[in-house]
């Protein structure tokens, strides 16, 4: 229970940081297969699925509500050590993933998905990071539909390893406003501000429903792919994971970097690797 809660926190933190993939962290923590199965079999294996999903969702919720500001601060002031820590988390997951393809011979049909998805992550990183125009979230039917659809897209990208859901929100112009709405909603709840609570619900409810729908739909698709070509799917995931640290470092601001941040970054990388080794696997 405690381990799953901590795993959920790691996944939640990854999902709020642009450029870092929540799906990759699920793989790193050894959760990916289990979560996909739990979501797609929630009706037939309700008790078993909820036993896994509840602590993960609570942990992810804690990360989004309580740690979003902390990691925003860390990325603004200590970007290199923070990004190195995430690179360590990702790199530390590789031994667990390689076990999934152990014994399978390398072939062209396996190398192709590896190269495609490796290239996809690098291309996305090179596209550049932009908040774009801040989206309009005033309460009306059109905006409610937009928030639902944005939730679907964000959830789908959050679940796919190597693809950053928060980056997708940023490109769509919803990243800053969604994080701010979550922060304002939490403050409103603690202050018993009814207007603030209702405003938050008007934004977060359609977005949240879209997230749930998106996760269910993409989980079904991913399960189908794994059933048809499991080894090839893992080669694609290995490509995504190997590219992810490169993508994170490409998006890191290296302007005026000194020796100290690099040295600290080496230690945070090692710490990330250590955490992955303890939280990953079965």
What residues in the chain have per-residue pLDDT under 70?
17-21, 28, 68-69, 71-72, 124-125, 127-137, 157, 161-164, 167-168, 170-173, 176, 279-282
Whole-structure pTM value: 0.64
Give the number of domains in the chain.
1
Contacts of 191 (CB under 8 A, 6+ apart): none
Q: Supply the range of the domain harboring residue 39.
A: 2-279
List of long-range contacts for 229-234, beta carbons under 8 Å, 24+ apart: 231/100, 231/101, 231/104, 231/110, 232/109, 232/110, 232/113, 233/113, 234/97, 234/100, 234/101
Q: To 10 degrees, the CA torsion angle through 212, 23, 233, 104?
A: -140
Q: CA–CA separation, 35 vs 215, rounded Å? A: 10
Over the chain, what is the mean pLDDT? 80
Q: Do residues 163 and 124 make contact, with C-beta atoms less than 8 angstroms apart?
A: yes
Q: 19-76 pLDDT, tens per residue?
A: 566 777 787 677 777 888 888 888 888 888 888 888 888 888 888 777 766 766 777 7
pLDDT at 131: 43
3-state secondary structure (DSSP) of residue 44: coil
pLDDT at 72: 66
């Amino acid at each position: 229970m405690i381990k799953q809660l901590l795993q959920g926190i790691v996944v939640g933190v990854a999902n709020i940081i642009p450029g870092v993939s929540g799906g990759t962290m699920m793989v790193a923590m050894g959760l990916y297969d289990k979560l996909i199965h739990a979501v797609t079999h929630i009706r037939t294996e309700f008790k078993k699925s909820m036993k896994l999903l509840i602590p993960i969702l609570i942990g992810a919720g804690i990360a989004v509500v309580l740690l979003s500001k902390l990691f925003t601060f860390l990325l603004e002031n200590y970007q290199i050590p923070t990004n190195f820590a995430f690179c360590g988390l990702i790199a530390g997951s590789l031994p667990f993933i390689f076990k999934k393809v152990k014994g399978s011979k390398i072939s062209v049909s396996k190398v192709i998905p590896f190269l495609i998805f490796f290239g996809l992550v690098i291309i996305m990183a090179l596209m550049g990071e932009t908040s774009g125009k801040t989206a309009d979230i005033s309460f009306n039917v059109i905006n409610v539909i937009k928030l639902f659809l944005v939730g679907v897209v964000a959830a789908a990208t959050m679940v796919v390893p190597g693809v950053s859901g928060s980056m997708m929100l940023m490109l769509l112009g919803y990243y800053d406003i969604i994080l701010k709405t979550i922060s304002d909603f939490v403050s409103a709840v603690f202050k018993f501000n009814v207007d603030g609570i209702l405003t938050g619900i008007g934004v977060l409810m359609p977005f949240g429903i879209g997230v749930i729908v998106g996760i269910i739909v993409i989980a079904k698709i991913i399960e189908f792919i794994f059933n048809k070509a499991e080894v090839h799917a893992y080669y694609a995931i290995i490509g995504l994971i190997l590219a992810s640290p490169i993508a994170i470092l490409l998006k890191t601001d290296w302007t005026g970097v000194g020796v100290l941040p690099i040295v600290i970054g080496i230690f945070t990388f090692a710490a990330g690797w250590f955490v992955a080794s303890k939280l990953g696997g079965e």
